[in-house]
Chains A and B, each alone.
Chain A
Amino acid sequence: MAKQKILIVDDSEMNRSILADILGEEFDVIEACDGFEAINTMRSYGVELSLVLLDVVMPRMDGFEVLAMMNNYKWIQDIPVIMISAENSSSYMDRAYELGATDYIQRPFDALVVRRRAINTIMLYSKQKRLIGLVEDQIYEKEKEQSLMINILSHIVEFRNGESGLHVLHIHTMTEILLQNLLKRTDKYQLSLQEISLIATASALHDIGKIGIDDKILNKPGRLTPEEFEQMKNHAAYGAEVLDKMPFYKNEPLVRIAREICRWHHERYDGRGYPDGLKGDEIPISAQVVALADVYDALTSERVYKKAIPHETAIEMILNGECGAFNPVLLGVLKWVADRIQVELRVNSVGEISKQDLNRITKEVVSHEELSVSKRTINLFEREREKYRFIAAMSKEIMFELYADPVTVSFFDESAHKLGVDMIIPNPLEDEKLIACLGKENMIEFGKLIRSATHDDSIVSFECDVKMDGEPRHCRILAMTQYNLNDDTDTYEYVGTVGKIEDITEEYSKMKALEQAATHDSLTGLMNHAHAKSIIQEKLSEQTEKKFLLAVMDMDNFKAINDTYGHIAGDEALKNISAKIKNVLPSDGVAARIGGDEFMIFWECIGDAEASAKKIFRAFKVKFEQDDASLSMGISTSDFSRDYEELFRLADMALYAAKDAGKQRCLFYDESMKGIDLPLRTKCDS
């Protein structure tokens, strides 16, 4: 058998090692150097921990805060705590016991005493856990036998009636759901969980009076005559009578409630039911609820005289008052839980006590606090955690968990290593290693996304650069936020997030390359015409206060270069020009190759337009004298037009005017060029 695990929490390494030395032989010792670490260790080990030895004075989070937190999470009920402290004032000890510590050991401690007390505490707790298990099993057996008897009894009635045993079960389930939710909606009816369970059990007996009804009437396929119906109605009173005449147990709560249900489950809220014509809340709530469940199940089941009606129709008929009047509050509850009823009735199998039921009963018996769960559930939960850990380790993905309170991030072993961060990180926004890995702004952005998620929309996806093994990688963070349902307020409270970090660098750079290819010229690396146009149009229409210049230019003797030196030299010349353009282009300017040897430059004009243009044009001249090549350029300004097509046309006219005037020059468009007839250009919008 594996050794039991003990968690030692102390900020002094020395104290920890003394304790570890004393206890190490018998136990598997885990250490934590402050309260924060302790909480996180408890979080990952849960009830695997058999005992916590807890110091009081510690940095970050002290022993009392740890105890408070353990109360908060209800861990204190399952993990015993022994406080160890040099403090011997009684107020310290009182506080520790009040917060649920099992024992208090003073320093300087005696090796033998520590060992003995640790062992005793663990034995006590495991004995208690074993007892809980025993009680659970016994209650389970007892409850099973009891409902078995009731089921047999009520089945006799149904058997005679030609119904399946499911009717009783359905009524049981539905009664329970209705009552539990009624409790949430109103405090008008004082019902304990135990009473609800009793009513649900007693509901099985609602029709026992039918034992006294003639077979011929009970199983008549057609409509009953008025006389037959009068006889049939007697089953309510008969049932109550049977129970009334019981020689023993007559005053047992179960029998008392069953009697109410038998006699009054055909009463209606408006006083038009039978046998007594009771009105409103004169009818006990037990009988009201069973009546509603009975009507619903009768509608949705097939009987000798009718076919089954679908769930939705049945609910609607009841709500419309087609089956008699019911308590409006109860109808509200029915409407509210209708969907759940449909699901539950489908899944519930015969003769089984639901898990919730068992938990609840156990809880009451061992008077554990309300939210605690049975050992069975904890075991199940532990198994789930184990599976999860295994899958996380196998997948080699970076998985993380984020807790809301206290705010903590945790990574699995290898993930933390890959990212170069700690496995458990309290206050992530302050953690330097994590900030170096993710970037603070990304963390803040991601935090915002988490906060905007809701229970219904809980998946969050976020892309950012993440350092892995020291290299920046482009990653996608996929996460799911998690919530707890607060039964009191019926709202979801955020408790944490789980997620993974996926390296999508390759996918991302492929995307980027495709984007580049679609928008840029492959030879020169400048934009293509279509892309430049869309950017320029945006600038013209959005930055209306700015003045822009648009220049169109081409080489004066490109054909000659191609013919004389070959196409490779021609391409070189184009690349040279592009490099020049990139050099002189103002930082938010736009430059594109719009076809062949034609280029376009667009930039914001600050100061004198002509000077600005000349500065750019001159840059090309120098270069091209060496290359034995020259350029002409035509320019238009946004003063003429803020429409791209028009602006482009004007610049193009200026370019032709420049060519006409003898090339190698740069001209601004003016009114005198109005008449220039432009040759047909190839459109480059594709």
Chain B
Amino acid sequence: MTTEELYQTIGGNYREVLGRFMTEDRVLRFVKKFPADGSFELLKTSLENGVQEEAFRAAHTIKGVAQNLGFTALYEKVVVVTEILRGGSMEVAEYMPELERLYKLTVESILKLN
């Protein structure tokens, strides 16, 4: 899979990212770092353990990273979760399955990059 195909698969905006990051090489390098970021796991465990503040920070980090890398679809989903958590609520269960599906799709697709 090429970088461009990856962005198509996961609903991202490749042109926009390339515009900001200047070189293809840089985009690729940081995209490849994405699977190693533990924020999604942290989000899940802190939700399970009821640690609201930590869950917020984890969601917030994913939001920042997704936005930076131009993972638009993922970004839009995680924004919703972030905002609910920011307000002090933990009622995000209904959004989590879709977020997780998108997250996994993103990670799996990145691993398939040439």
**What number of B residues sit within 8 Å (CB to CB) of A?**
22
Annotate A201-219 by CB proximity to B: 1 below 8 A, 0 otherwise. Answer: 0000000000000000000
Task: Scan A128-158; emit 1 where CB is below 8 A from any B CB, else 0.
Answer: 0000000000000000000000000000000
A11 touching B26 in the complex, CB below 8 Å, given contacts A107-B68, A108-B67? no
Q: A110-B19, A111-B20 are in contact. Are A17 and B30 (CB under 8 A)?
A: yes
Verify if B22 is at the interface (C-beta below 8 Å from A).
Answer: yes
Check A14/B63 contact, CB under 8 A, given A109-B68, A111-B20: no
Determine if A18 and B57 form an interchain contact, defined as CB atoms under 8 angstroms apart. Answer: no
A3-47 toward B: CB 8 Å interface, digit per residue (1/0)? Answer: 000000001111101100100000000000000000000000000
Mask of A666-685 contacts with B, CB within 8 angstroms, 1/0: 00000000000000000000
Tell me if A392 counts as interface (CB < 8 A to partner B): no
Max chain B Cβ within 10 angstroms of own Cβ: one of A17, A86, A107:
A86
> Does chain B have a CB within 8 A of A605?
no
Q: List the B side residues contacting A107 at CB < 8 Å.
A: 64, 67-68
Alpha-carbon distance A17/B20, docked complex (angstroms): 15
Which residues of chain A from 187 to 244 have any CB-CB distance to chain B below 8 Å in the complex? none
Residues of B within 8 A of A76 (CB): none
Taking CB atoms, residues of chain B closer than 8 Å to A18 are: 30, 68
Q: Whole-angstrom distance from the CB of A113 to the nearest CB of chain B?
A: 8
Most chain A beta-carbon neighbours within 10 Å: one of B54, B57, B68, B70: B68
Query: Which B residues are in CB contact (< 8 Å) with A15?
Result: 61, 64-65, 68
Chain B nearest CB from A112 CB (Å) reads 7
Query: How many angstroms from the CA of A59 to the CA of B56 in the assembled complex?
Result: 10
Answer whether residue A341 sits at the interface, using C-beta atoms and an 8 A cutoff: no
User: What are 13 pairs between A and B in contact, CB < 8 Å?
Assistant: A11-B61, A12-B37, A12-B64, A14-B33, A17-B30, A17-B33, A21-B26, A21-B30, A57-B60, A86-B60, A108-B67, A109-B68, A112-B20
Q: How far is the CA of A269 from the CA of B19 in the complex (A)?
A: 79
Considering the chains assembled together, what is the distance between the CA atoms of A15 and B64 in angstroms? Answer: 8
Chain A contact residues: over half helix, strand or loop, or mixed?
Answer: loop
Closest CB of chain A to B6's CB: distance in Å?
Answer: 17
Residues of A with C-beta under 8 A to B26: 21, 111
Interface residues of B (CB under 8 A from A): 19-22, 26, 29-30, 33-34, 37, 39, 54, 56-57, 60-61, 63-65, 67-68, 70
Contacts of A21 on B, CB cut-off 8 Å? 26, 29-30
Chain B contacts of A11 at CB under 8 A?
57, 61
Q: A108-B20, A111-B22 are in contact. Are A13 and B68 (CB under 8 A)?
A: no
Identify which of A57, A109, A110 contacts B57 (C-beta below 8 A): A57
Q: In the complex, are the beta carbons of A14 and B37 less than 8 A apart?
A: yes
Report chain A residues within 8 Å CB of B56. 57
Taking A17-B33, A111-B22 as known contacts, 5 extra A-B pairs with beta carbons closer than 8 A to each other, sorted by chain A number, are A11-B61, A86-B67, A109-B20, A111-B21, A112-B22
Sort chain A's interface into a size bin.
10 to 19
Closest to B29 in A: A21
Whether B70 lies near A108 (C-beta < 8 A) is yes
How distant is B71 from chain A, measured CB to nearest CB, in Å? 10
**Nearest B residue to A84, CB-CB:** B64
Query: Which residues of chain A are within 8 angstroms of B61 by Cβ–Cβ distance?
Result: 11-12, 15
Q: How far is the CB of A115 from chain B (nearest CB, A)?
A: 9
Q: Given the complex, which residues of B lie within 8 Å of A12, measured CB to CB?
A: 37, 39, 61, 64-65
Which residues on the B side are within 8 Å of A17 (C-beta)?
A: 30, 33
Residues 56-67 of A, flagged 1 when their CB comes within 8 A of B and 0 if not, give: 011100000000
Residue of B nearest to A112 (CB): B22
- List the 9 shortest-distance A-B pairs measured between CB atoms, nearest first: A110-B20, A108-B67, A12-B61, A108-B68, A86-B64, A111-B22, A57-B60, A14-B65, A14-B37
Task: Report the minimum CB–CB distance from B80 to chain A (whole Å).
Answer: 14
- Minimum CB distance partner of B66 in chain A: A108
Nearest residue, chain B, Cβ from A55: B64
CB distance from A89 to the nearest CB of B (A): 11
A154-B54 Cα distance, complex, nearest whole Å:
72
Contact with B along A89-117 (1 / 0, CB 8 A): 00000000000000000011111100000
On whether the beta carbons of B67 and A14 are closer than 8 Å, the reply is: no
By a CB distance below 8 angstroms, the chain A residues around B39 are 12
Residues of A within 8 A of B64 (CB): 12, 15, 86, 107
Complexed CA–CA distance, A21 and B67 (Å): 17
Give Cα A11–Cα B63 distance, bound, in whole angstroms.
Answer: 13
A19–chain B nearest beta-carbon distance, Å = 10
Q: How far is the CA of A403 from the CA of B113 in the complex (A)?
A: 49
| Cβ-neighbour of B63 out of A13, A58, A86, A111 (below 8 A) | A86
Of the listed residues A14, A57, A112, the one surrounded by the most CB atoms of chain B closer than 10 A to its CB is A14
CA distance in complex: A575, B28 (Å): 80
Q: Chain A residues with Cβ under 8 A from B22's Cβ? A: 111-112
Point out the residues of chain A lying under 8 angstroms from B54, CB to CB: 59
A533 → chain B closest CB, angstroms: 64
Q: Whole-angstrom distance from the CB of B75 to the nearest CB of chain A?
A: 9
Distance (whole angstroms) from the CB of A181 to the closest CB of chain B: 51
B30 touches A14 (CB 8 A): yes
Q: How far is the CA of A57 from the CA of B85 in the complex (A)?
A: 13
Residues of B within 8 A of A110 (CB): 19-20
Once bound together, how far apart are the Cα atoms of A15 and B20, in whole Å? 14
Residues of A within 8 A of B30 (CB): 14, 17-18, 21
